[in-house]
Amino acid sequence: MTTSAEIAATLTRLAARVHIPVAALPDFRPNGEARPFLVLEVDGTLHWRVDEAGRTLSDLATHDLDELLYWALRGVTFTAAADWEPAHRVPGQDSRRLRWAHQHELLARLDPRWAGRWRTELADELRAAGATADLALLPPERVGD
């Protein structure tokens, strides 16, 4: 069984690959302020959870460590890309194009499968929202995604 210390060490190692500070990573302490945190249950169930003001806003559960790492780093790379984008903005271009491309690149450096999965999930969300024109803003699929 995986321990919380092993999960934290893995997250730290992966984040270092893409220059994300440890402070940006979810930890195992809920703060009630809508900041994601992780839960490791006695039976080995792993949770990526978001609580705010005593309410659970999101609770994803799995027994697959890779799944938990994907959820955690998907969120962290979103924030990193959003922070990076303003300094690299192209006038007249939809800011999502650059932000999504950067998040895709970060995820690809962590695990190419995660980048492909993220792109597919985002495309599915856009289609479900009727925003099919926004599909053109997505980064191109990469070999290995």
Q: Looking at the domain assignment, is residue 144 inside a domain?
A: no
pLDDT in tens, the chain (145 residues): 689 999 999 999 999 999 999 999 999 999 888 999 999 999 999 999 999 998 999 999 999 999 999 999 999 999 999 999 999 999 999 999 999 999 999 999 999 999 999 999 999 999 999 999 999 999 998 766 6
Given a contact cutoff of 8 angstroms between Cβ atoms, the answer to whether 18 and 25 are in contact is no
- Tell me, yes or no, whether 145 lies in a domain: no
Domain of residue 64, residue span: 4-137
Q: Is residue 142 part of a domain?
A: no
Closest CA to 134 of 122, 116, 120: 122
pTM metric for this prediction: 0.93
Residues facing residue 55 across a β-bridge: 52
What domain count does the chain have? 1
